[in-house]
Chains A and B, each alone.
Chain A
Amino acid sequence: MKDPYEVLGVSRTASDNEIKTAYRELVKKYHPDNYANNPLADLASEKMKEVNEAYDAITRSRGSNGSPYQGGGSQSNQYNYGYSYGYGSANTGSSYAQVRAYINANQLDAAESLLNTAPNRDGEWYYLKGTIAYRRGWLDEARQHYQTACAMVPSNYEYQNALRTVQGGYTPYRQTNYQRSDMDDACNICQALMCLNCLCGGGGCR
Chain B
Amino acid sequence: MFGYVRPRRDLLEQSAFESYHAAYCGLCRALGKQYGFRARFLVNYDMTFLYLLRSSAAPACGVEPCRCPAKLCGRKPCALDTEGYAPVCACTVILGYEKIRDNLRDEGFFKGLPYRLLRLLYRRAYRKAVALLPDFAALCAGQLSALHDLEAASSPSIDAVSDAFARIVAGCVDDVSDPGLRRPMEQILYHTGRFLYLADALDDLKDDCRKDAYNPLRYRFSVEEGSLSREDLDYLSQLTDSSVNLAGAALELLPIMAYRSILENIVYYGFPAVFYAVKTGRFQAKESLWKKRNDQSDHTGETI
Contact = CB atoms under 8 A, between A and B. Distances in A.
A39 to B, nearest CB: 7
Contact of B243 (A29, A34, A139, A175): A139
A171 interface: yes
Contact of B299 (A38, A167, A181): A181
A143 B191 CA distance: 16
Interface of B is mostly: helix
Interface string B134-166: 000000000000000000000001111001001
B197 to A, nearest CB: 12
Nearest to A43: B253
Interface in A121-157: 133, 136-141, 143
Contacts of A136: 163
A179 B264 CA distance: 12
Given A139-B159, A165-B242, A174 B272 contact: no
A143 B133 CA distance: 36
Interface string A91-123: 000000000000000000000000000000000
| Size range of the chain A interface in the assembly | 35 or more
A43 B180 contact: yes
Interface string B234-273: 0001111111111011111100000000001000110011
B243 A173 contact: no
Given A139-B194, A168-B238, A168-B245, 10 more contacts: A40-B250, A47-B253, A137-B190, A139-B239, A139-B242, A141-B159, A168-B241, A174-B252, A175-B245, A178-B268
7 contacts: A34-B252, A40-B184, A139-B239, A166-B242, A174-B252, A180-B272, A181-B299
